Amino acid sequence: MADSLNLDFAGDAILNELKKAGQYYDKELADEDIPQDIIDSVPDNLVSQFQVIPIAMESDKAVLVADYNSNTLQNLGMLETSLGKRVDLLLTDENNIRRALEKYYNISIYSKSRRGSSDVYTGDINDSPLQKKADDVLTQGVAMDASDIHIKPYSDGIYVWMRINGDLRDMTHKFDFNAEDGDILSNIIKGKDETSNADSANKLMPNNGSFKMQQGLTTVRCRLSTVPVGSASDLVQKLDIRLMPQRSNRVSLEKLFFGKDLETIKNTLYKSSSGMFLNAGPVGTGKTTSLYAYLDYLWNLAQDRQSVLHVYTIENPIEIMDERFTQVQVRETNDEDTNLSALKALDSALRSDPDIILFGEIRNNVEAEAAMKASQTGLKMFSTLHAGNCHKAILRLLNLGVDPLAILSEMRFILCQRLIPILCPDCSRPHVLTSQEKAILTPEELKYLVPSDGENYLRERCPVTEWGKCSNSKCHNGVLHRLAVPEYIVFDDKIRDALLHQNDFHSVKDLLKEYHFKSMWEKGLALVKSGQAELADVINHIGKD
């Protein structure tokens, strides 16, 4: 359909051409009473990104209506990929879509910024074919709900990889870059940086930056990192882009955790008036999302008391915008007069009468000591740390030079988590343990997963050839969503006393077992046993020490 329309002119000419082609939808969508199952067949995030209203849905085809002024037509391929089926697109005017969004999806603000703005990159820039292809990489990454995009030149072209549901997918074939495009592509994306830190002229050193883009109704904050790879004679820039959609709905603790885990986390946050709350884990495991869920829970508790909280966040970059909080973006420069380091921001925060400080990430010994000392001032201190699990987080703090007594006195809670794909029950299939899987499982674990006298409930996702064919509208390549699987240490008097009398902190892991500590691995196996998760995913994302 895209080839049959010429939308490069405005007003009545567009409407006339659409009507002649039979592609203009002139009925009032809000008066149509579209069945709820059809509305539910297109997730809210796709509705927001593409500004579409579904009016019919078949097993292999969707009929959608979009605003003819939007860029949905140009991104039709991405929309079809996201839905997993062919899309027949009808076009209508903006007001018709706006009223339908309000009625069916309770979306009351219809963003004008898709047509461009001074401070938000909208994806409509089309200065060159390569610029358009760079934009396509970003918009398709958002449409496919990727958390990260990796762009790496090689001798015959440019690799494009996207991390979707925790797995890295090769999307190189979708974009067809040439090897000589590398430097220009790097400069195009670095040119979007709004922090002035990404120097397009400097390809000899790593660069960092951030920018915003608009995809439909969703603003996406993008964190950019570049690194030079290769020898001096053939140096190229690898680009890593973290995509952080700013959803209008806040993530609650109930959406991340459940059961006893949820109860323990809530109780610990509620009862502690001060101290350090630490989230640990590798990149991309949802540490910041969980911290903001903590903040939202505490904010709501304050609201129940007819009060508010003064929350101060220090981040680089700010990953989740929340206008309730005082959010400070770290800005590191060589000029001391304009250098806003994390430590300077923390010093300013402590003089601002905060109830809670979120210190985005502890990266070195200076920041570790400063964050721990700040937690001694009678406020709640939240932060993140790169560590593999809870006991390794304690060892990492010790290696960074933090006083063991400070850890014992001020630490309230350490949580480490991984995001595990939850299988679609409609298209997953039975799984038989492989010889390699059996080799890493203990006899007790084997008996737990497949009892000799019991039924095997183990499942695996459908094969690649079946992706996109599932009737479940929430299924994406065999996965419904990702679930946070946590392990945590609550520092009560019993734990503190036991740790205080340890001669060697490296025996923390053995000590925790005595206090009924349950690891991510154990919780992951429980998901495998129930058929909710695939063993390969638990091994890949959690691993077995």
Same domain, 138 and 33: no
Which of 223, 246, 269 is a domain's end point?
246
pTM of the model: 0.70
Contact 56, 63 (CB under 8 A): yes
Q: In this structure, what are the phi and psi dihedrals at residue 344, rounded to the nearest 5 degrees?
A: -65, -40
3-state secondary structure string across 159-208: EEEEEECCEEEECHHHCCCCHHHHHHHHHHHHCCCCCCCCCCCCCCCCEE
Same domain, 67 and 104: yes
Same domain, 193 and 323: no
Please indicate, yes or no, if residue 83 is contained in any of the structural domains. yes
Contact 121, 214 (CB under 8 A): yes
Same domain, 443 and 471: yes
Tell the residue number behind the tokens 């090769």, with chain if given: 170
Which of 215, 246, 277 is a domain's end point?
246
If one counts the domains in the chain, the total is 3
Same domain, 140 and 157: yes
Phi-psi region of 314 (alpha: psi -120 to 50; beta: other; left: phi over 0): beta
Indicate the Cα dihedral angle 335, 340, 346, 347, nearest 10°. Answer: 50
Q: How far is CA 34 from CA 38, 82, 134, in A?
A: 7, 21, 37
Q: How far is CA 266 from CA 214, 261, 295, 410, in A?
A: 34, 9, 11, 18
Which of 206, 222, 246 is a domain's end point?
246
- CA dist 145 and 152 (Å) reads 20
Please indicate, yes or no, if residue 117 is contained in any of the structural domains. no
Tell the residue number behind the tokens 């690898």, with chain if given: 238
* Residue % of the chain over a pLDDT of 70: 88
The amino acid that residue 87 corresponds to is V
Contact 385, 495 (CB under 8 A): no
DSSP annotation string for 68-100: TTSSTTTTHHHHHHHHTSEEEEEEE-HHHHHHH
What local confidence, expressed as pLDDT, does residue 290 receive? 94
Segments forming the whole domain that contains residue 38: 2-110
Contact 334, 317 (CB under 8 A): no
448: helix, coil or strand? helix
Same domain, 135 and 191: yes
- CA dist 112 and 121 (Å) reads 13
Same domain, 241 and 272: no
Residues near 31 by beta carbon (within 8 Å), at least 6 away in sequence: none
Provide the sign of the torsion angle of the four alpha carbons 39, 41, 44, 47, taken in this order: negative
DSSP state of 304: H
Residues near 437 by beta carbon (within 8 Å), at least 6 away in sequence: 535, 536, 539
DSSP state of 291: H
Provide the sign of the torsion angle of the four alpha carbons 190, 208, 249, 325, taken in this order: negative
Output the six-digit token pair for 326. Answer: 């005082």
Same domain, 266 and 239: no
- CA dist 134 and 131 (Å) reads 5
Output the six-digit token pair for 290. Answer: 């969980």
18: domain CATH number is: 3.30.300.160
3-state secondary structure string across 241-266: EEEEEECCCCCCHHHHCCHHHHHHHH
Same domain, 341 and 415: yes
402: domain CATH number is: 3.40.50.300
Please indicate, yes or no, if residue 54 is contained in any of the structural domains. yes
222: domain CATH number is: 3.30.450.90
Q: Which residues of 102-124 are buried (b: 16+ CB within 10 A; e: fewer)?
A: ebbeebeebbebbeeeeebbbbe
Same domain, 25 and 70: yes
- CA dist 482 and 284 (Å) reads 12
What local confidence, expressed as pLDDT, does residue 511 receive? 76
Same domain, 447 and 429: yes
Per-residue pLDDT of the chain (545 residues; tens, 9 = 90+): 333 334 333 445 556 666 777 788 889 999 989 999 999 888 877 787 778 999 999 888 999 998 876 667 766 776 777 787 888 889 888 888 888 988 888 775 444 433 333 344 444 434 468 888 898 999 999 988 899 999 999 888 999 999 988 889 999 988 889 888 888 888 888 888 877 677 666 678 888 888 888 887 788 989 999 999 887 777 888 999 999 988 766 788 998 888 899 999 999 999 999 999 999 999 889 899 999 999 999 999 999 999 999 999 999 888 888 999 999 988 877 778 778 888 999 999 999 999 999 999 999 998 998 999 999 999 999 999 999 999 889 889 989 998 888 888 999 999 999 999 999 999 999 999 999 999 999 999 999 998 877 678 899 999 988 888 898 888 988 999 889 999 999 998 888 887 777 655 566 777 777 777 899 999 999 999 999 999 999 999 999 87
- CA dist 431 and 435 (Å) reads 13
Q: How far is CA 468 from CA 26, 84, 234, 473, in A?
A: 31, 4, 40, 10
Contact 397, 408 (CB under 8 A): no
Output the six-digit token pair for 535. Answer: 């063993």
Residues near 253 by beta carbon (within 8 Å), at least 6 away in sequence: 262, 265, 266, 293, 294, 296, 297
Please indicate, yes or no, if residue 405 is contained in any of the structural domains. yes
Taking alpha carbons only, the member of 377, 482, 465 closest to residue 429 is 465
What local confidence, expressed as pLDDT, does residue 43 receive? 82
What local confidence, expressed as pLDDT, does residue 11 receive? 47
Q: Which residues of 403-428 are buried (b: 16+ CB within 10 A; e: fewer)?
A: eeebbebbbbbbbbbbbbbbbbeebb
Same domain, 376 and 475: yes
